[in-house]
Amino acid sequence: MLEKTYDPAEIEPRLYESWEESGAFKAGRNKDGEPFTIVIPPPNVTGSLHMGHALNNTLQDILCRFERMRGRDVLWQPGTDHAGIATQMVVERQLAQSGQNTGRRELGREEFVRRVWAWKEVSGGTITRQLRRLGASCDWSRERFTMDEGLSAAVRRVFVTLYRQGLLYKDKRLVNWDPHFLTAISDLEVESREVKGQMWHIRYPVEGGDESIVVATTRPETMLGDTGVAVHPDDERYTHLVGKHVILPLTGRRIPIVADSYSDPEKGTGAVKITPAHDFNDFEVGKRNNLEQISVLDIHARIIDADFIPKAYRGLDRFEARKRIVEDLEAQGFLVEVKDHVLMQPFGDRSGVVIEPMLTDQWYVDAITLAKPAIEAVRKGDTVFVPKNWDKTYFEWMNNIQPWCVSRQLWWGHQIPAWYGPDGHVFVEETEEEASTAAAAHYGAETALTRDEDVLDTWFSSALWPFSTLGWPEQTETLKRHYKTDVLVTGFDIIFFWVARMMMMGLHFMDEVPFHTVYIHALVRDEKGQKMSKSKGNVIDPLDLIEKFGADALRFTLAAMAAQGRDIKLSTQRVEGYRNFATKLWNAARFAEMNECRVPPDFAPASATHTINRWILGEAERVTAATVEALEAYRFNEAAGGVYQFVWGTFCDWYLELIKPLLNGEDETLKAETRATTAHVLDRILVLLHPFMPFITEELWHKMAEGAGIARASDLVLAPWPVVDAALADADADAEVRWVIDLVTEVRALRAEANVPAGAKLDLVLVGADATVRDRAERHQDLIGRLARLAGIGFADTAPKGSVQIVVAGTTAALALGDVIDLTAERKRLEKEIAKADQELAKIDGKLANPAFVAKAPPEVIEEQQERREATAKARAKLSDALARLVASL
């Protein structure tokens, strides 16, 4: 016997363990099945589960469980990401907090990396444990880590291959430099924010004469590295100065005035200072005009110690230097004016400090070349985005892609497989031995090499994830069988970081797209629509919700809210509501159990005879088909909503109520059929709900069988998904039950509006009922009586005196209210109903009277309108009859 209440906290962990032990999630278990493959977006190894993960993995799990039941050989490939900068940050912070005053540099690279690994060992299990708690049916036996042996080998192979193909190279260019972490970062890791600053107008004297030119800048301190002044070629104010030189204040350096269309005559003074080594635009201007590139900042963004820089500024922090330089310019009369100015300033997304464009040697991937096939693949539809619109975002980025800076001056990550000889010659090889061999060949003798200190951008290894996790560069069976994968489920925030790069790498190395579908889901926000963040303190921890309401409730909530194209504003109330849904299901199962419902081995739904049973069997097929259709289209919310409505609104609210008289009746054959049907439909519900609510459904799957003394062929997780049997739909049964439901609903509404005490049983008379109605009423009078609280159902040609009338499907039903009738209320009700019908009629008549409508609308629409008009008119006539009679009796 099922416990009175459902306790997810007890059930969920136990069931997960048993699934994992039985190998239910293992790929290859079902060798005959067509493969279905999803690679998990690898969470940071030292992270913990947040709401975005919960959504992301719930959706993947729904698909995996659905396809597994449908007979596919499912591989949900799990794993974690080493998350270079993020993880290094955490460990550095720990070092700082340990109070031992040892930073990573004091520790040394080897020891520091050892400590990061140690931290990974300690905390690395957290997120995978939490994914299990959520119910994620990953094949954990295949769990990977971006820095494990195999994946590291893949990284080296890709690096070396791209290098040899000329698609990866070392270059001295401006990069986004993070002066806090002392590393280069990619464009994507830079956040531009609007900042209130100033615009300084500085006068640069023109060489040989009294003239001067005023430049406007937001970064006066970089003037130490100015190597030119640019004016627009068409700007007549300055034409005569082009080709001349200015003498840079404070340093006295002599720099040229050049014409370049980069300067905007409308902005500032129309003249700009050019600092090629510290500004991306200036870098380009400098290249076009052959200007020198002079770096004036060190890696900490302090003014360097160099001869050409006045002593007073050497070693100053950039902001301090700005202050001093502005003061000095003012003192010496070079500062013309200072204006408040709002500018876009780049910040490191992790460090939060102002990013400095710096001229450094870095490794770059030729993304422009790699992007071409990746763009084409989406254009051709080899990979489709769902919702479709996201392909625009993808194209936008890919069409404007820049060389990808992949080197990082960090310690935690894949060290770049490049070695340098004494003369700086570079050897790019997969191993140190190969590099040594190459060096020996190059120099004609054994030569000591030093390895490149840098590591690769974390996303470099993530980009290989769909094939590296399957065994590449080895040509494994798994790789052959499961690449390309099926669908990638992810948030839009990493389309650039990850999706685009997987597309490029997948196409380049596997010659095939990594997935046929990219399902982009929403962002989970708090109930006010704010992005959840630690600093705002509005983070809802999915594990708290799981603890409180169960993983099933959280999963169902996320699925039900995962409508395409809109963010999810999560409220606890909603989760609570779906917890109640789980309880409802539990209680429905208890009811079935109490009534000894079970599916006999030879049960054939098609042979069911009773209308109620035939009706629910047809409905069950319909909801099954709808669920499949919705899931195949990634409409999670529709799938969830449809099943919810069926379980609560159809099965519990009506079917279970309708069969109570049958189960308590005398007809044993009918009872047996009804029990079988109930159990059959309940089983169906468990199957349909399993992808969404795996725990409670699995529990009931077993508990119901136990109670009935039957054995299940398998756990629900591996049970076969039903093939829809459309032949079970029975239009007559549908119409009949619909009629019963309408009648009961109408009578209930009437009772409530007429303030009939809940306990009072009334007589119902069907007026002028035809054979069909009479037949239906007689057949179902017990249950109609029960649900509508009737003493009995009779038939008559006219409504009994003093009765109140309603119209159900064209037939007048009279309720003898006797003393309990509230005549005024009843009159009001009838008038309201009539008014509603009149409004409706006016609307339809308006349409039908319109010749254009009759001429142009499709025949079926016209017919439908005519039918509606007739039905409404009939009902209105009966209502007004009833009203007339009522008024007469007053």
Partner RNA sequence: GGGCGCGUAGCUCAGUGGGAGAGCACUACGUUGACAUCGUAGGGGUCGCUGGUUCAAUCCCAGCCGCGCCCA
| Residue pair 593/704 in contact by the 8 Å Cβ criterion | yes
Name the burial class of residue 315, with classes exposed (0-12), middle (13-18) and buried (19+) by CB atoms within 10 angstroms of its CB.
middle
- The bridge status of strand 762-767 relative to strand 790-796 is parallel
If one asks whether residue 748 binds RNA (CB under 7 A), the answer comes out as yes
Token code pair at residue 473? 């560069």
Per CB under 7 A, the list member of 563, 708, 735, 809 interacting with RNA is 563
Q: Which of residues 309-348 bind RNA (CB under 7 A)?
A: 344
Identify whether the C-beta of residue 313 lies closer than 8 Å to the C-beta of residue 171.
no
Which of 342, 861, 884, 887 is close enough to bind RNA by CB under 7 A?
861
- From 117-125, 446-454, 564-572, 689-697, give the range in contact with RNA by CB under 7 A: 564-572
Closest distance to RNA from the beta carbon of 371 (Å) = 15
Smallest distance, RNA to C-beta of residue 318, A? 22
Asked if 587 touches RNA (CB under 7 A), the answer is yes
The single-letter code of the amino acid at 251 is: T
CA 484 to chain centre: 21
Residue 444, Cα to own-chain centre: how many angstroms?
Answer: 56
Residue 781 binds RNA, judged by CB under 7 A: no
Three-class DSSP labels, 278-327 = CCHHHHHHHHHCCCCCCCCECCCCEECCCCCCCHHHCCCEHHHHHHHHHH
Site for RNA in 644-663 (CB under 7 A): 648, 652-653, 656-657, 660
Q: How far apart are CA 844 and CA 841, in angstroms?
A: 5
Q: Which of 158, 639, 787, 875 binds RNA (CB under 7 A)?
A: 787
CA-CA distance, 819 to 282, in Å (whole number)? 93
* Binding-site member from 68, 232, 584, 690 for RNA (CB under 7 A): 584
Is residue 858 at the binding interface for RNA, with CB under 7 A as the rule?
A: yes
Does 577 bind RNA (CB under 7 A)? Our answer is: yes
Binding window for RNA (CB under 7 A); candidates: 137-145, 229-237, 287-295, 854-862 = 854-862
Q: How far is the CB of 860 from RNA (least distance, A)?
A: 8
Q: Please provide the DSSP assignment of 121-161 as one string.
A: HHHHHHHHHHHHHHT----GGG-EETTSHHHHHHHHHHHHH
Least spacing, CB of residue 13 vs RNA, in Å: 18
- Applying CB under 7 A, the span of 252-260, 317-325, 792-800, 859-867 interacting with RNA comes to 859-867
Residue list 191-230, contact with RNA (CB under 7 A): 191-192
CA distance 268 to 44: 46
Helical spans, DSSP H, in 36-190: 51-69, 84-97, 104-107, 109-134, 149-164
Does 859 interact with RNA (rule: CB under 7 A)?
A: no
Q: What is the largest CA-CA distance in the chain?
A: 120
> CA-to-CA distance for 886 and 627, rounded, in angstroms?
48
Q: How far is the CB of 650 from RNA (least distance, A)?
A: 11
Closer residue to RNA, CB minimum distance, 259 or 630: 630
Closest contact distance (angstroms) between CB of 588 and RNA is 4
- Looking at 306, 312, 440, 752, which residue binds RNA (CB under 7 A)? 752
Considering only residues 788 to 807 of the shown chain, the ones binding RNA according to CB under 7 A are: 789
Stretch that binds RNA, among 139-147, 321-329, 573-581, 712-720 (CB under 7 A): 573-581
Taking CB under 7 A as the criterion, which residues in 523-562 touch RNA? 527-529, 531, 561
Say if residues 269 and 216 touch (Cβ distance below 8 Å). yes
Q: Cβ neighbours of residue 263 under 8 Å, at least 6 residues apart?
A: 230, 231, 232, 235, 270, 271, 272
Choose which of 18, 261, 369, 583 interacts with RNA (CB under 7 A).
583
Site for RNA contains 591 (CB under 7 A): yes
- Whichever of 468 and 650 has its CB closer to RNA, that residue is 650
User: Nearer Cβ to RNA, position 470 or 639?
Assistant: 639
C-alpha closest to that of 488 among 56, 33, 25: 56
Residues 664-703 that bind RNA (CB under 7 A): none
Q: Contact with RNA (CB under 7 A): which of 569, 702, 779, 827? A: 569
Selected binder of RNA within 447, 637, 781, 880 (CB under 7 A)? 637
Going from the C-alpha of 445 to that of each of 369, 442, 450, 771, 861, the distances in angstroms are 37, 8, 16, 107, 90
CB of 656 or CB of 764, closer to RNA: 656
Using CB atoms within 10 Å of the CB of residue 666, give its burial: 0 to 12 exposed, 13 to 18 middle, 19+ buried. Answer: exposed
CB of 184 to RNA, least distance (A): 16
> Taking the complex as a whole, how short is the minimal distance between the CB of residue 493 and RNA, in angstroms?
7
CB 809 to RNA: min, Å: 11
- Binding test (CB under 7 A) with RNA, winner from 315, 373, 491, 641: 641
What are residue 231's DSSP bridge partners? 259, 271
Q: Residue 627 class from Cβ within 10 Å (0-12 exposed, 13-18 middle, 19+ buried)?
A: buried
- The mark string for 385-424 relative to RNA (x by CB under 7 A, - otherwise) is ----x--xx--x---x------------------------
Cβ proximity to RNA, 304 vs 384, nearer residue? 384
Only one residue has tokens 């040697």, namely 361
Instruction: Single out the residue of 786, 796, 823, 880 in contact with RNA (rule: CB under 7 A).
Output: 786
Question: Contact with RNA (CB under 7 A): which of 164, 267, 380, 856?
Answer: 856
Choosing from 100, 165, 798, 850, the residue that interacts with RNA (CB under 7 A) is 850
Burial of 681 by CB count in 10 Å (0-12 exposed, 13-18 middle, 19+ buried)?
A: buried
In the complex with RNA, which residue's Cβ is closer, 80 or 872? Answer: 872
What is the separation, in whole angstroms, between the first and last Cα of the chain? Answer: 57
Q: Which stretch binds RNA (CB under 7 A): 329-337, 632-640, 683-691, 882-890?
A: 632-640
Q: What is the DSSP string of 179-196?
A: TTTTEEE-GGGEEEEEEE
- Nearest approach, Cβ of 856 to RNA (angstroms)? 4
Q: Whose Cβ is closer to RNA: residue 60's or residue 865's?
A: 865
Interatomic CA distance for residues 383 and 520, integer angstroms: 13
Burial class (CB in 10 A: 0-12, 13-18, 19+), 468: buried
Q: How far is the CB of 613 from RNA (least distance, A)?
A: 16
829 is a site residue for RNA (CB under 7 A) = no
User: For residues 487-526, which are near RNA according to CB under 7 A?
Assistant: 493, 496
Smaller CB distance to RNA: residue 347 or 420? Answer: 347
H or E element that contains 765: strand 762-767
Question: Residue 256 carries which side chain, given as an amino acid letter?
Answer: P
Number of residues that bind RNA (CB under 7 A): 76
Site string for RNA, 830-849 (x = CB under 7 A): ----------x------x--
Rule CB under 7 A: say whether 136 interacts with RNA: no
In sequence order, what E strands does 280-353 have? 335-348
Residue 670: burial class (beta carbons within 10 Å; 0-12, 13-18, 19+): middle
Of 74, 90, 439, 568, the residue at the interface with RNA (CB under 7 A) is 568
Minimum distance, C-beta of residue 366 to RNA, in the bound complex (Å): 18
Which residue pairs from 390-394 have beta carbons closer than 8 angstroms and sit at least 24 positions apart in sequence?
A: 390/492, 390/495, 390/518, 390/520, 393/492, 393/495, 394/495, 394/499, 394/500
Q: What is the 3-state secondary structure (H, E, C) of 602-628?
A: CCCHHHCCCHHHHHHHHHHHHHHHHHH
CB of 847 to RNA, least distance (A): 6
- For residue 759, state whether it binds RNA (rule: CB under 7 A): yes
By the rule CB under 7 A, 868 interacts with RNA: yes
Q: By C-beta, is 153 or 494 nearer to RNA?
A: 494
